[in-house]
Structure 1
Amino acid sequence: MKLYAITMLTGLVAGITGCGKDPRLEKGEAVFVANCKVCHAQGINGAPIVGNIKMWGPRLEQGHEVLVSHAITGYGLMPARAGRLDLSDENISNAVLYMMSTVENQ
């Protein structure tokens, strides 16, 4: 069932990206580089490393909406809005979508 959920989500992300580059992913990548990369590139404080299927697999199963909620309100050692209260819900949603998309080809 877990593999099925990951496959379904991967298909969703692939569908988003299949017809040219989705602007949400481009915006999300910019937000990621400016705000999320510090922790998510190195796994600081347990942050899942971007592109790492083992770390993202269980999170992908939770779905985009749950992951966005965690990012907005804070989760574990991650502060709400990654400590950037000026980030909009849309920016956070795009960044989460971008990070989810990085495991697509794993």
Structure 2
Amino acid sequence: MMIARCARLLLGMLILLLIACGKDPRLDEGLKVFTANCKVCHAQGINGAPIVGNKKMWGPRAAQGHSVLVSHAISGYGLMPARGGNPSLSDEDISNVVLYMLSQLDN
């Protein structure tokens, strides 16, 4: 159990390192999904959606980790509908857009 926890932590750190270096192509895909599907709410904070880049709003959420945020986005959470209201988004799309939004906390 401890080994699995450490492995998840190391994987998360690697993802964040790749994002910080700007070498993760998933960010470009995430930006496309964000622009087409998520920007309406996450750029303005509609219905309490955390605004992209707002560290105060994202801090507690980011602390939950990528996999939890992806799970919330896939299933829906609070006032956010499942898959942001677009059932055609794949799990990979959701993962990429969560990575993109988390990457904006460093900018």
Task: Please indicate the TM-score interval, normalised by the length of the shorter structure.
Answer: 0.7 to 0.9
For each residue in 1:69-90, what CA deviation from the matched residue of structure 2 results, as whole angstroms up to 9, or x when unmatched? Answer: 0000000000000110000000
Greater C-alpha radius of gyration: 2
1:84 aligned partner: 86
Question: Structure 1 residues 38-47 or 10-19, which shifts more?
Answer: 10-19
1:45 is matched with 47
User: Whole-Å Cα distance in 2 between the matches of residues 91 and 29 of structure 1?
Assistant: 10
Equivalent AA in structure 1 for residue 56 of structure 2: K
- Contact 2:43/2:52 (<8 A) preserved: yes
More RCO (CA 8 Å, sep 6+):
1
Normalization by structure 1: what TM-score? Answer: 0.84
Structure 2: gaps spanning 5 or more residues: 1-11
Stretches of 4+ aligned residues off by more than 6 angstroms: none
Aligned-residue sequence identity (percent) comes to 71
In the alignment, the residues of structure 2 paired with residue 100 and residue 77 of structure 1 have an alpha-carbon distance, to the nearest angstrom, of 20
- Secondary structure at the aligned position of 2:63 is classed as helix
Q: What's the RMSD between the two structures over aligned residues? A: 1.9
Contiguous gaps of at least 5 residues in structure 1: 1-9
Aligned to 2:97: 95
TM-score by length of 2: 0.83
